[in-house]
Amino acid sequence: MKRKTLSSGNALGLCIALLMLAAGIVVVFLLPVIGCFIGPVICFLALFIGGKRSKVWKCTTCGAVIARG
């Protein structure tokens, strides 16, 4: 058995992340005073949306996957 981390994403989560990224860019240009502080924070938070990671054990001979606890 070998320790692995599986990553997966879903289309809805990725679309929401892209919308948040676009909203952060719009905030930077539309709110001149506080937009330069809030916009980059929104863009940074968009990086963490849409993906999922799970830690698993993977068999080296057959490829079976078991969730780690």
Q: What is the pLDDT of residues 43-59, one digit of tens each?
A: 999 888 877 788 899 99
Number of domains in the chain: 1
> Helix, strand, or coil here: 17?
helix
Q: What DSSP state is assigned to residue 60?
A: T
Strands (E), the chain: 2-9, 51-58, 65-67
What does the pLDDT read at residue 14? 84
pLDDT at 26 over 80: yes
Comparing C-alpha atoms, which of 19, 41, 16 is closest to residue 28?
41
pLDDT higher at 9 or 59: 59
What does the pLDDT read at residue 30? 93
Q: Does pTM top 0.85 for this prediction?
A: no
Distance between alpha carbon 6 and the CA centroid of its chain, in Å?
14
Which residue segment(s) compose the domain that 17 sits in? 2-67
pLDDT at 41 over 90: yes
> Helix, strand, or coil here: 61?
coil
Residue count (the chain): 69
pLDDT higher at 7 or 65: 65
